[in-house]
Structure 1
Amino acid sequence: MKRWSVRTRLTVIYGVVFMGVGIVLVVINYLLVLGLIPQPASFATTMSPTSLSGVYPDDGTGIAIQRVPTPVQQTIEVAATDYRASTLQNLLLTSAIALLVAGAIAVFASWYIAGRVLRPVHTITATARRLGAESLDRRIHLDGPDDELKELAKTFDGMLDRLASAFDSQTRFVANASHELRTPLAVQRTLVEVAMADPAAPPELQRLGTHLLATNERSERLIEGLLVLARSDRGLRGRVPVRLDEVAETVLVGCIGMADQHNVTIKKTIRPRTVAGDPVLLERLITNLVHNAIRYNVDGGSVTVEVGNSPAVRVVNTGPKVPVDALPGLFEPFRRLERTATSGGSGLGLSIVRSVVKAHDGSIGVAARPSGGLDLRIDLPPSAGPADLATPRNTVTAGRCPRITNSDNENDHCHRRNPPHVNAQADEHTVK
């Protein structure tokens, strides 16, 4: 059930209180008028003479006289009775009409006054809704008397000052860490490569150098992932129109070598789609999705990449079966399944994806395919630019039989026979 707003509740309360007080006043007024109007019988006796209808003997002490109303008195009494009833009826009717009219005016006045009183609260709410990591410079600066609402606005502004200072400190830390962490690793990699390039280096040194280079590369990926995660968690400092289809095409071309290494075929359906965001983070999002789909696949498997309106990006891969209860944990940092623990990944791929999607005000849906693998769908808000086109793009890579094929072309000779059908399981988890 939808909750009433504070303004509505205040209006109802004011209206009910006014109507209750009005009803009490009407009752008191009715009782006062009822006591002021004389009874018809006494009024008729006062306004006309009486006559003796007869004399009756008593017990010897006197004479008993019975007074009987005359026709004039009867007429006056009937008229007084009608007047009394009509007066009270008109009093109730006019009082009820006046109460309803005054109640309606009171309700509208209460609505207006409540809106004026709550206007600073709406200002605070609107400012809070516009806030983000990229717009922490906004402040309320509420004008008006020094009351509780102005004190609340000042407290809110002070909190924003502290948050802005904390975000600035984090930004400087990430920038410094990016330089301080990458430089030693680059120097180590250079030293190892120089040592391995020496023709006189013994085989033991070559094996050690190879191991050190692999460890160095893993450390670089881990640091790069942590830095990207920290950057996306801070939100976006600015948004520009990004052609998501062009980003996907670039990423897929760069993944041909990795797909060859894992013997995986990439199929694509790319339609023009423009979103507002950070092009670097969006490229990392698609890269992580495709790399995960290739790395955690089976020999001879496939990866299907779709870009369109809804969802904006969809990546489906074959692979081992994934338990449904393990799906939410896939987006946590350093949380990996047993089958992926020795794959060489850092455990940050989908965490970065979730963070980037959240920074772009989107959502992620993931489902475990019954035949194995995952079905990931990402929804992103549309860009404020021109409407997206609906015509698929057919891009063919030059040279040998490409690993990237267009899934709309059924006669493509590079397709594997009987590709697995994408059938998402009913148990679906959405991450926002």
Structure 2
Amino acid sequence: MKTRLALVFTGLLLLSGALLLATNYLLMSATLPVATPSFVTGADLDVVTEVNPDAQGAVEAVDQTGYRAAVLNTLLVQSGVTLLLTAVLALVLGRFAANRMLRPVHAVAATARRLSADRLDERIRMRGPRDEMTELADTFDEMLDRLSTSFDSQRRFVANASHELRTPLATQRTMVEVAMARPGAPGDLRDLGTRLLAVNDRSEAMIEGLLTLASSDRGLSTKQDVPLDRITEQVLTHHRQAAREARVTLVADITPRTVRGDPVLLERLVTNLVENAIKYNDGGAVWVRVGEDPAVAVSNTGPPVPAEDVPRLVEPFVRLPRDRVGARRGVGLGLSIVASVVTAHGGRLTTEPRNGGGLDVRVTLPPTRNGSIL
């Protein structure tokens, strides 16, 4: 942008200089006399002369037509060189001026790059005379105020609603279990209770997911060294029974890796990836890798996933059609929670469909050294 502005300034200078040069040339061309050669005495000579030694003091007048051409040519050459030197100087000064003029824009851009859902407290607060730049900065600050208020309201609503729903769901579960445990309870009641408990489990999973999502969206208040390899091993140990029941083989390739972050959220990240890989499978395999880059990678066999649907999988409550993912369906928060946790840790999430079916998910997290993020 600075270079473009400097080039615009220089171009305008060249254009105005060329117009000035053309005007000056036309004026000089109209002013200089046009005449034929003549011979005059030294007393009447009003043009440049040269002495002829053989003419005994007679002076031969210079051809005025040649003199006129020489003057105009000199005017063009010297003015052209001056214009080019001025253009170079204007380019340097124009870039310097553009840099100073665009400094407020750089401040706005730098603030925007630092902002995220958990860092909406920064403001530009530009000082100086009231002009277009300060008006832009003030408008940006007002927009950030509205965004911050909106994010806070959303997080409070999700957190409060999730907490308030936990109690009635726990009560419902207890009542259903007590009814099913009564001696002589009919079979229809037990079947109904089983279905109600399944619905209750799904509701609890959704509420737990909303709480985790709200917590990760608020960002990380504190960070600590987290052994990602140990967390992954614990998650795999906890899910081996579920994998056997689903006839899925768990294949692990784990190397030591420590990251800075929240251990609860990172455990939820790995858990969601493993659970999804087992759930949306067809009796094949799940490959789990932990290393430097990517930090975590989970791949699984399963039904084919259309490439155009992959970006939508990280959105909350988005699920593929039943015929594409099988009969076991979640609440649509698994990968959205993973994406939110990755963002809170300053990482990057990559999802791609595997050839032959299934999904390949890779999580890249910032490297650490001596307990601090590089």
The question of a shared fold, defined as TM-score above 0.5 by the shorter chain, is answered with yes
Q: Which residue of 2 aligns with 1:202?
A: 185
Task: Give the conservation status (yes or no) of the 8 Å contact 1:239–1:276.
Answer: no
Q: Which residue of 1 aligns with 2:335?
A: 350
Task: Give the conservation status (yes or no) of the 8 Å contact 1:361–1:381.
Answer: yes
Task: Give the conservation status (yes or no) of the 8 Å contact 1:275–1:380.
Answer: no
Cα gap change, 1:30 to 1:72, in 2 (>3 Å): farther
Q: Choose the corresponding residue for 1:132, options 116, 126, 129.
A: 116
Q: Choose the corresponding residue for 1:366, options 340, 352, 355.
A: 352
Aligned-partner Cα distance in 2 for 1:152–1:37: 56
Aligned-partner Cα distance in 2 for 1:384–1:295: 33
Aligned-partner Cα distance in 2 for 1:83–1:344: 96
The secondary structure found in structure 2 opposite 1:255 is helix
Task: Give the conservation status (yes or no) of the 8 Å contact 1:364–1:379.
Answer: yes
Task: Give the conservation status (yes or no) of the 8 Å contact 1:314–1:375.
Answer: no
Aligned-partner Cα distance in 2 for 1:185–1:322: 34
Q: Which residue of 1 aligns with 2:86?
A: 102
Aligned-partner Cα distance in 1 for 2:364–2:96: 39
Task: Give the conservation status (yes or no) of the 8 Å contact 2:155–2:218.
Answer: no
Cα gap change, 1:308 to 1:95, in 2 (>3 Å): same
Task: Give the conservation status (yes or no) of the 8 Å contact 1:273–1:312.
Answer: yes
Q: Choose the corresponding residue for 2:150, options 166, 169, 172.
A: 166
The secondary structure found in structure 2 opposite 1:145 is coil
Deviation at 1:295, TM superposition (A): 2.0
Task: Give the conservation status (yes or no) of the 8 Å contact 1:315–1:376.
Answer: yes
Kindly, what percent of the aligned residue pairs are identical? 47
Task: Give the conservation status (yes or no) of the 8 Å contact 1:11–1:114.
Answer: yes
Name the larger-Rg structure.
Answer: 1
Q: Which residue of 1 aligns with 2:270?
A: 286
Q: How many residues align?
A: 358
Superposed structure 1 runs of 4+ greater than 6 Å apart: 70-74
Deviation at 1:43, TM superposition (A): 6.9
The secondary structure found in structure 1 opposite 2:302 is coil
Q: Which residue of 1 aligns with 2:52?
A: none
Aligned-partner Cα distance in 2 for 1:286–1:279: 11
Deviation at 1:136, TM superposition (A): 0.7
Deviations 1:227-279 (A, max 9, x none): 334444x3524473544333322211221221222232211111233445443
TM-score (norm 1): 0.72
Task: Give the conservation status (yes or no) of the 8 Å contact 2:272–2:334.
Answer: yes
Q: Which residue of 2 aligns with 1:16?
A: 11
Deviations 1:152-173 (A, max 9, x none): 2111111111111122222222
Code of the residue aligned with 2:134 in structure 1: it is K
The secondary structure found in structure 1 opposite 2:369 is coil
Matches within 5 A, 1:17-416: 17-39=12-34, 41=36, 44-45=39-40, 47=42, 75-78=60-63, 84-198=68-182, 200-204=183-187, 205-232=189-216, 234=217, 236-238=219-221, 240=223, 241-299=225-283, 301-324=284-307, 327-328=310-311, 330-332=313-315, 333-339=317-323, 340=325, 342-359=327-344, 360-370=346-356, 373-385=357-369
Aligned-partner Cα distance in 2 for 1:286–1:71: 112
Deviation at 1:23, TM superposition (A): 1.7
Task: Give the conservation status (yes or no) of the 8 Å contact 2:162–2:210.
Answer: no
The secondary structure found in structure 2 opposite 1:298 is coil
Aligned-partner Cα distance in 2 for 1:27–1:171: 68
Cα gap change, 1:38 to 1:369, in 2 (>3 Å): closer
The secondary structure found in structure 1 opposite 2:106 is helix
The secondary structure found in structure 1 opposite 2:293 is coil
Deviation at 1:220, TM superposition (A): 0.4
Specify which structure has the higher proportion of helix: 2
Deviation at 1:305, TM superposition (A): 0.6
Aligned-partner Cα distance in 1 for 2:180–2:255: 46
Deviation at 1:150, TM superposition (A): 1.0
Aligned-partner Cα distance in 1 for 2:174–2:62: 122
Deviation at 1:35, TM superposition (A): 4.7
Code of the residue aligned with 2:287 in structure 1: it is T
Aligned-partner Cα distance in 1 for 2:169–2:136: 49
Q: Structure 2: which 5+ runs fail to align? A: 46-54
Aligned-partner Cα distance in 2 for 1:163–1:326: 29
Code of the residue aligned with 1:142 in structure 2: it is M
The secondary structure found in structure 2 opposite 1:268 is strand
